[in-house]
């Protein structure tokens, strides 16, 4: 009988001990740490009596580098004090390496950039011996890392212009030599009868007009006195 009583007392003590342990457990609510920097998220969880654990990292177009993308358990979950909250951290946007598009025609450069998620931004023009539309310079330089959707500034060739000289009043042969030496071509020489007031073979009219900007090889029309 005495042994039976002893067993009952032990069971009662164990029961009360279990209830006491359960009563001493404290609970807290998981705060929302999504979008926060790791250090701030860790501080916020610590204040709630919880522990941050980085479970994984992923690239993200929307969440900045080293910020929390998601958490588990989710915000508002009731947890025991000292519980772990797992989080996935952002690696930032996935970087894209800028390709070398110099010496490419504009259309080809545009297609190359588009295929890797970049665009053409500001376009400048420069006179050059390169074919019209050829990319002469780019910014940033090849090998630079950019986030998808970023733009690349380019400078393209608009060819090489020649300023047409004024040959009016010159002898036609002298005028032709000047124009040809500049890279222009004589399209036609028309003879105009101005009577005896103007010496023969003098340029009276030219087209394109003096100081006009034309492409190399442009045709020039001359009208000279008879």
Q: Are strands 68-72 and 84-90 parallel, antiparallel or unpaired?
A: antiparallel
Domain ranges of the chain: 26-90, 96-157, 161-225
Instruction: Look at residues 157, 165, 201 and name the one whose alpha carbon lies nearest to residue 183.
Output: 165
Statement: the pTM of the whole predicted model exceeds 0.85 = no
156, burial (CB in 10 Å: exposed 0-12, middle 13-18, buried 19+): buried
CA distance 223 to 190: 5
Q: pLDDT per residue over 108-152, tens digit each?
A: 999 999 998 899 999 999 999 899 999 999 999 999 999 888 999
For residues 226 and 12, the model is more confident at 226
CATH fold label, 161-225: Trypsin Inhibitor V; Chain A (3.30.10)
Work out the average pLDDT over 28-35: 96
R_g over Cα of the chain: 41
Domains 26-90 and 161-225 share a fold: yes
Find out if CATH 3.30.10.20 is the number for domain 26-90. Answer: yes
CATH code given to domain 96-157: 3.30.10.20
CA distance 33 to 43: 10
- Quickly state the pLDDT bin for 20 (edges 50, 70, 90): very low
């Amino acid at each position: 009988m005495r042994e039976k009583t002893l067993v009952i007392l032990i069971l009662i003590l164990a029961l009360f001990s279990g209830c006491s342990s359960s009563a001493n457990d404290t609970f807290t609510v998981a705060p929302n740490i999504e979008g926060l920097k790791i250090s701030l998220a860790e501080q916020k969880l610590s204040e709630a009596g919880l522990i941050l654990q980085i479970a994984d990292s992923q690239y993200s177009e929307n969440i900045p580098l080293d910020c929390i993308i998601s958490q588990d358990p989710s915000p508002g979950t009731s947890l025991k004090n000292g519980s772990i909250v797992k989080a996935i951290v952002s690696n930032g946007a996935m970087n894209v390496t800028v390709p070398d598009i110099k010496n490419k025609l504009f259309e080809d450069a545009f297609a190359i950039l588009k295929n890797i998620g970049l665009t053409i931004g500001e376009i400048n023009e420069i006179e050059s011996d390169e074919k019209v539309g050829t990319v002469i310079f780019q910014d940033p330089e090849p090998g630079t890392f950019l986030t998808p959707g970023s733009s690349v500034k380019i400078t393209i060739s608009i060819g090489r212009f020649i300023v047409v000289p004024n040959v009016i009043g010159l002898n036609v042969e002298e005028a032709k030599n000047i124009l040809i030496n500049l890279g222009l071509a004589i399209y036609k020489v028309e003879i105009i009868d101005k009577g005896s007031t103007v010496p023969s073979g003098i340029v009276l009219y030219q087209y394109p007009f003096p100081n006009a900007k034309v492409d190399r090889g442009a045709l020039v029309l001359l009208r000279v006195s008879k």
